[in-house]
């Protein structure tokens, strides 16, 4: 492609039409930038699998306090973000401020949850330890053996499929162009990224190219090695059960559990869906649903809520989280002029969607990310990537 002398066709070309690519495109278009998205099936990706927990506090991990701040800031944006998206599209996102209960079944799991509670309190987070009896008072379907739990009224949920559908419609309404094709390679001309060449042969040029291809972001062709984001696929298997009307309300909030040291969650939607997740497997590009994965999820979920065995099993799916070395996203400009990243959201893509849109819009219009997003720029991996490249 010889494009260096030609003016770019657009201001922004987003590679990847999952929720992160779509929110980036929507916010860019709202700021008056001529924006296009490339994806063979926009609105797809990991959001079709994800449960949609907005669980900044209950999913807190040791060593991830910086990420916590970003997660909390995005969680705070959710009510107005959901309202704005509904206003723009007429679609309900299934945003449900229902809270979360994290419970433990045996002494070891209880000790682990107690430690998490102490950590949460040390960070000033709102989380209350309640007895097993109080857990069951809140959620009568819980197993009699529940030994206690954390009541976190600020961890909510959204329906990621509805979120993806709404973002797609909002993008269309804001004038975003869609190219339903695969990217052959990112076009790098001289010292700049200048768009992409598609499998169908089309060349698209843009002032800014945003790589938002989820778990595939680390293998996209055309980029110099030192710019490729260190993103890998992390498999998650998820089940969808259906709560018949006669059983409702089966659960009134998200229920999570530490079971035999592992984590399982049950996310009840108002439409009767109950999402049970998720495995976390480092198996490359494998998206097979396995008997073992389904068995473990059902076994652990059944230990917490025995009544789930009565529910119809509607769907089993596996998706790929875009994992990064520190489990945090890569947001903003890269060492290659014209190329920006919005990827690596790992377990927090749905939660971080609102704030990612804001960060990327700022980066695309000013060239810089806002101060709160500076810990998440791709530059934090620059040295490691340079070393790998030599
Ligand atoms: N945040 C839930 C998951 O990644 O399984």
206-216: pLDDT as tens digits: 999 999 999 99
Query: Could you tell me the distance, in angstroms and rounded to a whole number, from the CA of residue 30 to the centre of ligand 1?
Result: 30
Instruction: Report the pLDDT value the prediction gives residue 171, as an integer from 0 to 100.
Output: 98
Instruction: Check if the beta carbon of residue 147 is closer than 8 Å to that of residue 109.
Output: yes
**What percent of the chain shows pLDDT beyond 70?**
96
- 4 has pLDDT over 60: no
**What percent of the chain shows pLDDT beyond 90?**
92
Ligand 1 pocket, 347 CB below 6 A?
A: yes
Peptide bond into 70 cis (omega under 30): no
Ligand 1 pocket, 277 CB below 6 A?
A: yes
Instruction: Report the pLDDT value the prediction gives residue 388, as an integer from 0 to 100.
Output: 60
Query: Could you tell me the distance, in angstroms and rounded to a whole number, from the CA of residue 194 to the centre of ligand 1?
Result: 34
Ligand 1 pocket, 297 CB below 6 A?
A: no
Ligand 1 pocket, 53 CB below 6 A?
A: yes
Could you tell me the fold of the domain covering 100-153+233-323? D-Amino Acid Oxidase; Chain A, domain 2 (3.30.9)
Instruction: Report the pLDDT value the prediction gives residue 25, as an integer from 0 to 100.
Output: 98
The closest of 229, 214, 319, 317 to 273, measured between CA atoms, is 317
- 1 has pLDDT over 50: no
Atom of ligand 1 nearest to the CA of 346: 4
Instruction: Report the pLDDT value the prediction gives residue 382, as an integer from 0 to 100.
Output: 82
Atom of ligand 1 nearest to the CA of 51: 2
Q: Name the one residue in this structure whose structure tokens are 């990217």.
A: 183
User: What's the pLDDT tens digit per position in 297-341?
Assistant: 999 999 999 999 999 999 999 999 999 999 999 999 999 999 999
Could you tell me the pTM of the whole model? 0.96
Mean pLDDT of the chain: 95
Query: Could you tell me the distance, in angstroms and rounded to a whole number, from the CA of residue 57 to the centre of ligand 1?
Result: 13
User: What's the pLDDT tens digit per position in 43-76?
Assistant: 999 999 999 999 999 999 999 999 999 999 999 9
- 6 has pLDDT over 80: no
Ligand 1 pocket, 56 CB below 6 A?
A: no
Atom of ligand 1 nearest to the CA of 59: 1
d(CA 370, CA 358): 9
- 261 has pLDDT over 90: no
- 256 has pLDDT over 90: yes
Token representation of residue 134: 């109080």
Ligand 1 pocket, 256 CB below 6 A?
A: no
Report the nearest-CA residue for atom 5 of ligand 1: 278
- 2 has pLDDT over 80: no
Instruction: Report the pLDDT value the prediction gives residue 5, as an integer from 0 to 100.
Output: 55
Report the nearest-CA residue for atom 2 of ligand 1: 347
Instruction: Report the pLDDT value the prediction gives residue 368, as an integer from 0 to 100.
Output: 96
Atom of ligand 1 nearest to the CA of 351: 1
Helices first, then strands: H and E counts in the chain: 8, 18
Specify the 3-state DSSP secondary structure of 263.
strand
Mean pLDDT of the 154-181 span: 98
d(CA 325, CA 323): 7
User: Treating both helix axes as pointing N-terminal to C-terminal, what angle do 65-89 and 160-173 enclose, rounded to 10 degrees?
Assistant: 60
Report the nearest-CA residue for atom 4 of ligand 1: 347
d(CA 374, CA 70): 11
Report the nearest-CA residue for atom 3 of ligand 1: 347
User: What's the pLDDT tens digit per position in 21-48?
Assistant: 999 999 999 999 999 999 999 999 999 9
- Using the CB atoms, write b or e for 218-236: b if 16+ within 10 Å: bebebbeebbbbbbbbbbb
Token representation of residue 135: 């857990």
Q: For residue 59, give every residue at least 6 positions away whose Cβ sits within 8 Å of its Cβ, in sequence order, or none.
A: 53, 347, 348
d(CA 182, CA 180): 7
Instruction: Check if the beta carbon of residue 2 is closer than 8 Å to that of residue 26.
Output: no
Domain boundaries, the chain: 3-47+162-231+325-389, 100-153+233-323
Query: Could you tell me the distance, in angstroms and rounded to a whole number, from the CA of residue 346 to the centre of ligand 1?
Result: 8
Homologous superfamily of domain range 3-47+162-231+325-389: FAD/NAD(P)-binding domain (3.50.50.60)
Q: What is the four-CA torsion angle of 76, 239, 100, 279, rounded to 10 degrees?
A: -80
User: Treating both helix axes as pointing N-terminal to C-terminal, what angle do 160-173 and 19-30 enclose, rounded to 10 degrees?
Assistant: 30
Mean pLDDT of the 234-259 span: 95
Give residue 288's Cα distance to chain centre.
Answer: 20
Mean pLDDT of the 110-129 span: 96
């Amino acid at each position: 492609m010889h494009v260096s002398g030609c003016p770019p066709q657009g201001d922004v070309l987003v590679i990847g039409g999952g929720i992160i690519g779509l929110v980036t495109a929507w916010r860019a278009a709202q700021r008056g930038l001529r924006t296009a998205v490339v994806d063979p099936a926009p609105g797809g990706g990991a959001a079709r699998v994800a449960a949609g927990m907005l669980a900044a506090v209950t999913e807190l991990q040791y060593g991830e306090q910086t990420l916590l701040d970003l997660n909390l800031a995005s969680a705070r944006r959710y009510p107005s973000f959901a309202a704005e998206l509904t206003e723009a599209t007429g679609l309900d996102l299934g945003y449900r401020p229902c809270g979360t209960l994290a419970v433990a079944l045996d002494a070891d799991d209880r000790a682990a949850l107690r430690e998490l509670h102490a950590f949460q309190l040390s960070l000033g987070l709102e989380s209350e330890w309640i007895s097993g009896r109080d857990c069951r008072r809140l959620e009568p379907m819980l197993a009699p053996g529940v030994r206690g739990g954390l009541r976190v009224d600020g961890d909510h949920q959204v329906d990621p499929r509805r979120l993806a559908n709404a973002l797609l419609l909002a993008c269309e309404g804001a004038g975003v162009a869609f190219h339903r094709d695969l990217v052959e390679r990112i076009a790098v001309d001289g010292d700049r990224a200048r768009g992409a060449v598609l499998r169908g042969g089309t060349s698209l040029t843009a002032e800014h190219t945003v790589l938002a291809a989820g778990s595939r972001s680390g293998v996209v062709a055309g980029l110099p090695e030192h710019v490729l984001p260190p993103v890998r696929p992390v498999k998650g298997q998820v089940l969808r059960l259906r709560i018949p009307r006669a059983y409702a309300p089966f659960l009134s909030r998200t229920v999570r559990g530490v079971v035999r040291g592992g984590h399982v969650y049950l996310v009840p939607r108002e439409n009767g869906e109950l999402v049970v997740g998720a495995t976390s497997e480092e198996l490359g590009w494998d998206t097979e649903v396995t008997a073992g994965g389904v068995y473990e999820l059902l076994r652990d979920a059944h230990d917490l809520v025995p009544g789930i065995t009565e529910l119809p099993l509607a769907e089993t799916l596996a998706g790929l989280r875009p994992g990064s070395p520190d489990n945090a996203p890569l947001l903003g400009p890269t060492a290659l002029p014209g190329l920006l990243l919005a990827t690596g959201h790992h377990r927090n893509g749905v939660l971080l969607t609102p704030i990612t849109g804001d960060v990327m819009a700022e980066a695309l219009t000013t060239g810089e990310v806002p101060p709160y997003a500076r810990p998440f720029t791709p530059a934090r991996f620059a040295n490691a990537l340079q070393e790998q490249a030599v």
